[in-house]
Structures are given as structure tokens and as C-alpha cells.
């Protein structure tokens, strides 16, 4: 079945640093979404991308939909302690309405 490879698995960075994470797939996706999840809570939508090449920002977050439609990245600029959490990429395949999720990137921030 479709799988998303998300990297890195975890990051431990200094407050103020920029963060970059990405997702790749061998299949084409029509939509890319990025979520953040805190312990014991459901994922919260951060950014949605609908077109190949699309670059979208949400505050300090920027995400791009890869030209090949097989990858996406998320950047966080000037990280702060509340950025701590697990970030998931999710994609909607060409056919069907379900989302396929990556395994997540654990972000820890040292203040």
C-alpha cells in the first residue's frame, strides 16, 4: 500500500534555530497536509497544500508541495519551546478519500 517516509525521526534543537522536516513517497499524492500532535491529544492541522509546487506559510511555518507530487517539506523558523511535539505529514493519494500518514518527527527544543 501507499507509504510516506518521514524524516528525521526526531530532532533536538536550540531555541531560535530553524527546523526542516520532509516526507517522501513512491506514489503520487493530490494533497499534502502537515499536522502537530501533543501527547494525549488528536493531531491539529497546520498547513494544507493542494497544488504541485505550492508554497504556503502559516506564521513561522512554511510548507511546500513537491513538483513531482511525491514529496513535501515543512520548515519552522526561529523555534520556540511551544513548538515541541510530534509533526506528521499526511497525503491524499490520487484515488480515494483517505489520508495516509507518515510516522512522525519528534521535535524537542532546548531553551
Q: Least distance in Å: CB of 45 to other proteins?
A: 6
Q: Least distance in Å: CB of 78 to other proteins?
A: 26
Residue 42 or 59 with smaller CB distance to other proteins: 42
Q: Least distance in Å: CB of 15 to other proteins?
A: 25
Q: Which 3 state secondary structure label does DSSP give 86?
A: strand
DSSP β-bridge partners for residue 109 = 13
DSSP calls for 13-70: EETT--EEEEEE-SS-EEEEEEEEE-TTS--EEEEEE-STT-EEEETTEEEEE-TTSS
**Which stretches of the chain bind other proteins, using CB under 8 A?**
4, 6, 30-31, 33, 35, 40-45, 48, 50, 88, 90, 92, 96-104
Residue 4 or 76 with smaller CB distance to other proteins: 4
Amino acid at each position: 500500500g501507499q507509504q510516506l517516509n518521514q524524516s528525521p525521526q526526531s530532532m533536538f534543537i536550540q531555541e531560535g534555530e530553524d527546523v526542516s522536516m520532509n516526507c517522501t513517497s513512491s506514489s503520487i499524492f493530490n494533497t499534502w497536509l502537515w499536522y502537530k500532535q501533543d501527547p494525549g491529544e488528536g493531531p491539529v492541522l497546520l498547513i494544507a497544500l493542494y497544488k504541485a509546487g505550492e508554497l504556503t506559510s502559516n506564521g513561522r511555518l512554511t510548507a511546500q508541495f513537491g513538483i513531482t507530487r511525491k514529496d513535501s517539506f515543512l520548515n519552522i523558523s526561529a523555534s520556540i519551546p511551544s513548538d515541541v511535539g510530534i509533526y506528521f505529514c499526511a497525503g491524499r493519494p490520487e484515488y480515494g478519500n483517505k489520508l495516509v500518514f507518515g510516522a512522525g518527527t519528534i521535535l524537542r527544543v532546548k531553551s
